[in-house]
Amino acid sequence: MSGWVFIAVIAAAALHALWNALVKGGADKTLNMGAVIIGHAPLAILAVIYAPLPAPESLPYLFAGLALHFGYQWFLLRAYLLGDLTQVYPIARGSAPLIVALFSVLVLGVHLEGMELLAIAIIGAGIISLALVRRADGLRNGDAAVLALITGLFIASYSLVDGLGARLSGSSLAFFGWMALGNGLMMTAFLAVTSPQSLRDLPRKGLPVFLIGGSASFVAYALVTWAFTQAPIALVTALRETSIVFALLIGVVFLKERLSLMKLASTMTTLLGAVLLRFIRS
């Protein structure tokens, strides 16, 4: 993994944490999730205008990715409605790189060095250990944990599909641009059926999240999709889950969440894995 790819994925992780905090921190999480996904549209339109069309052989991956991204967003929203950010986010993001690495090695035949596998395991352990942190009422939320784990399965699945599709497309930006437009249309239709009031409120109440969260989310995954074409998918997926570090900082500084010793130890473990992953092949 080159230095530029490493920097791009870390930047994507920070942007990803930002839009998740916007969704979780708002009173109407359905409105905020819709605003983020539909908010991809302005940059997505520019991408599809100026980037070449994806190669035809990438289209099955694009359509599969659309379905997987929508499933991810639905389960993430359900998990955020039930659980805390510090519970849902770690399980969802921490389980994904482990699933991707296992599938890449056992099914796709990707060769990872022992130290690379160790770094991935350290990142996953650091993030998942944050799920052991109890809520303010001292209880754990089993339903939210199950939904978060299902979300992690969707993350692992779309990471593999998008990575393979982006490599076949000839243009990772075009590939994601068309996917983002399709995803925005699906989210619009979903809100129109299930939460029409949220859709009506979006231009007024959801405009800041539309502009900030939507742009952050688009740029974050455009960077990740490009990185999938430059480095093993398992390594990119593992490194971008360090977004939990940025989520922790946002939670403590801006959302005024309490920083416990458990959270700090888990965050440092995640950072250790990220540093190890960066310098293994230097």
pTM: 0.86
Q: Which pLDDT score is estimated for 24?
A: 83
Please check whether residue 280 is in contact with residue 116, taking contact to mean a CB–CB distance below 8 angstroms.
yes
Burial of 216 per CB tally in 10 Å (0-12, 13-18, 19+): buried
Q: 199-207 contacts: CB < 8 A, separation 24 or more?
A: 199/34, 201/28, 201/31, 202/31, 202/34, 202/35, 202/38, 205/28, 205/31, 206/28, 206/31, 206/32, 206/34, 206/35, 207/35
State whether the Cα torsion 267-271-277-280 is positive or negative.
negative
Q: Which pLDDT score is estimated for 231?
A: 92
Quick one: pLDDT band at residue 75, thresholds 50, 70, 90? very high
Percent composition of the chain: helix, strand, coil (DSSP 3-state, to 5): 80, 0, 20
Mean pLDDT over 3-30 rounds to 90
Quick one: pLDDT band at residue 40, thresholds 50, 70, 90? very high
Q: Could you identify the residue written with the tokens 């995640």?
A: 270
pLDDT digits (tens, 9 = 90+) for 185-221: 999 999 999 999 999 999 999 999 999 999 999 999 9
Q: Could you identify the residue written with the tokens 């978060």?
A: 148
Q: Which residue has the higher pLDDT, 23 or 257?
A: 23
- At residue 93's C-alpha, the angle toward residues 214 and 72, to 5°, is 55
Pick from 210, 76, 229, 212: which is nearest to 153 by CA?
76
Rounded CA-CA distance 271/233 in Å is 19
Residue 133 has phi, psi (to 5 degrees) of -65, 130
Please check whether residue 217 is in contact with residue 23, taking contact to mean a CB–CB distance below 8 angstroms.
no
Q: Which residue has the higher pLDDT, 125 or 41?
A: 41
pLDDT over 90, % of the chain: 52
Residue 137 has pLDDT above 90, yes or no: no
Q: Which two tokens stand for residue 183?
A: 């995803």
Q: Which two tokens stand for residue 277?
A: 């992953």
Residue 270 has pLDDT above 90, yes or no: no
Instruction: Report how far Cα 106 is from the mean position of its chain's Cα atoms.
Output: 23
Rounded CA-CA distance 221/176 in Å is 8
Quick one: pLDDT band at residue 134, thresholds 50, 70, 90? low
Q: Which pLDDT score is estimated for 150?
A: 94
pLDDT digits (tens, 9 = 90+) for 234-258: 889 888 878 888 888 887 888 777 7
Q: Which pLDDT score is estimated for 194?
A: 94
Mean pLDDT over 48-62 rounds to 96
Q: Which of 65-69, 87-91, 235-239, 271-275 has the highest mean pLDDT?
A: 65-69
Pick from 229, 251, 228: which is nearest to 240 by CA?
228
Q: Which two tokens stand for residue 53?
A: 């069309």
Write the secondary structure of 77-116 as one string of H (helix), E (strand) and C (coil).
HHHHHHCCHHHHHHHHHHHHHHHHHHHHHHCCCCCCCHHH
